[in-house]
Amino acid sequence: MNDLIDVPRGLNGVVAAETTISDVNGEAGWYQYRGWSAVELARTRSFEDVWHLLVVGGLPDAARSAAFAERIAAAQSDPRMPELIAAVGARTDQPLVALRAVWTLAASMRGSSALYDLDEAQRLEEAIRFAAVTPIALAGAAATGGGVVADYLEAVTGRTPDAAHVHALSAYLIAAMDHGFNASTFTARVIASTGADMASCLTGALGALSGPLHGGAPARALDSLDRAGDDPEAWIAGQLAAGRRLMGFGHAVYRTADPRSELLREVARGLGGSRVTQALAFQADAERQLAERRPERPLHANVEFYAAVVMEQCGVPREMFTPTFALARTIGWTAHVLEQARDAKIIRPSARYVGPAFAGEGVEV
């Protein structure tokens, strides 16, 4: 008999490791990056500055911010990368598939070593180099000196973005950079605990993110708005009566409103438009009906719901919603990989066996 301690399904609430990167308080409804409110960072700081905070370990002053931007630009200027990305892009129209391939081929091209064999400075260099190539691999974003977000937005929309859209998308990307031990982040840490190379950690995390229950939700949330049309009350009622899940509502951790959703609703209101008006009405009706059905645990709009609205308002095509999420979360993954690589203990949990009883040695089967 296996007398292991009982654990909840999905390891919900189980502490698997210690981290200094981010903290999520689902009961109180807040989350932070290294002691700073993630929501305030999304409102007030640049994508690159928060990248520096998570990966290097502190918010930079003006001089360090400029130096870090130069370091990113240098990582993006590898003369071999355009040919590699063009070759991969010519064979697939799926950005996440292309990103996995670029990371893997870049590791081979650069001769990337196992994290176990690198010192701290070398690991940091790997983290920055692989994250820096991400917007280029996903969308062919050229480094123009305008910043990662502006370059990426120009690449995915085909036009020079205005400042409001750059600020809005930056707020989303910062808000989505990290969020505790979510499925993809934990995957990255498990792989990092083996001492594997950076590309292996990132491609594993990306595989987890691609699932519809993780990174695939924003586009599905927008699909719900399309189907609901001008009568969200009836459509929502039909979905709930059929036992279907409302994509973009509820969260595994938060028992209050998702602070990321609150932030992005504010950003969406600032952008305005009929889609935003529709989303606000849909949210109000969905939360009302969900509360009536489950008064013991009201379900609120989560980050995916307004992320979809904000990205659409910024001109990001629907098929690029999950890749855009991946661009943000890559920063968090690299930070967690670096942290996990400092611990030489491999992550190796146990399982409770619930199959047929052991028949004994030498029994014919």
Q: Are 169 and 311 in contact (CB under 8 A)?
A: yes
* Nearest alpha carbon to residue 26 among 299, 328, 334: 299
Measured distance CA(68)–CA(302) in Å, rounded: 32
Beta carbons within 8 Å of 104's beta carbon, 6+ residues apart: 199, 203
CA dist 165 to 47, 151, 248, 271, 272, Å?
A: 14, 12, 22, 8, 12
- Tokens 């590699």 found at: 84
Q: Which amino acid is at 316?
A: V
Check if 364 is active-site.
Answer: no
Per the residue annotation, which of 52, 167, 179, 251 is the catalytic one? 251
What φ, ψ does residue 22 adopt, rounded to 5°? -150, 160
Per the residue annotation, which of 154, 304, 312, 339 is the catalytic one? 304
Task: Quote the tokens at residue 206.
Answer: 């990306």
Check if 251 is active-site.
Answer: yes
Measured distance CA(152)–CA(163) in Å, rounded: 13
Measured distance CA(323)–CA(206) in Å, rounded: 10
What φ, ψ does residue 37 adopt, rounded to 5°? -60, 120
Positions marked catalytic: 251, 304
